[in-house]
Amino acid sequence: MDDCLFCKIAAGQIPANKLFEDEQILAFYDIDPQAPVHFLVIPKKHIPSAACLTEQEGALLARIYAVIARLCRELGCENGYRVVTNVGADGGQSVPHLHFHVLAKRSLAWPPG
Ligand code: 5GP
Ligand code: ZN
């Protein structure tokens, strides 16, 4: 999508501090980290949010979670981590391209604000 920040990052038009990339998925550090480890994982194809997912994206989602697990192992997040995807205004979504926040290396509060 032409006017989408994360599509531009996925296409390499805007730089990002990348952790992992393949033909379908990109992981990069969040520009405004909310924990000592805070990165985002996105599908390269434009999906507006988790509200738009269908069973067709099952393999893509499994791959995203497998990449998250591997990256967290590599980053030494053995105490645990949190995966969050915000949806819409009430969910706190500010970038309308599906992304999974991965937060780690501090004790995270529950319930979230
Ligand atoms: P949301 O609020 O949609 O759940 O999450 C969007 C996230 O994208 C925020 O945590 C924000 O800090 C991050 N973000 C916004 N613009 C950029 C950018 O240009 N580069 C990177 N790496 N992260 C960004
Ligand atoms: Zn997009």
In a domain, 94, yes or no: yes
- What burial letters (b/e) apply to 16-49, b meaning 16+ CB within 10 Å? beebeeeeebbbbebeeeebebbbbbbbbebbbb
Domains of the chain: total = 1
Q: CA 3 to CA 19: how far, in whole Å? A: 24
Domain that holds residue 83: 5-104
Q: What per-residue confidence (pLDDT) applies to 39?
A: 99
| 97 annotated active-site | no
In a domain, 74, yes or no: yes
- What's 90's DSSP letter? H
Residue 44 · residue 51 · CB < 8 Å = no
Rounded to 10 degrees, the C-alpha dihedral 68/71/75/80 comes to 30
Q: What per-residue confidence (pLDDT) applies to 2?
A: 86
CATH (domain of 21): 3.30.428.10
In a domain, 111, yes or no: no
Q: What per-residue confidence (pLDDT) applies to 1?
A: 80
The two structure tokens encoding residue 70: 């591997």
Active-site hit among 38, 97, 99, 101: 99
- pLDDT in single tens digits along all 113 residues of the chain: 889 999 999 999 999 999 999 999 999 999 999 999 999 999 999 999 999 999 999 999 999 999 999 999 999 999 999 999 999 999 999 999 999 999 999 999 999 98
Binding-site residues, ligand 1, Cβ < 6 A: 5, 16, 28-32, 86, 92-95
In a domain, 113, yes or no: no
Instruction: Give the position, in ligand 1's atom list, of the atom nearest the Cα of 17.
Output: 22
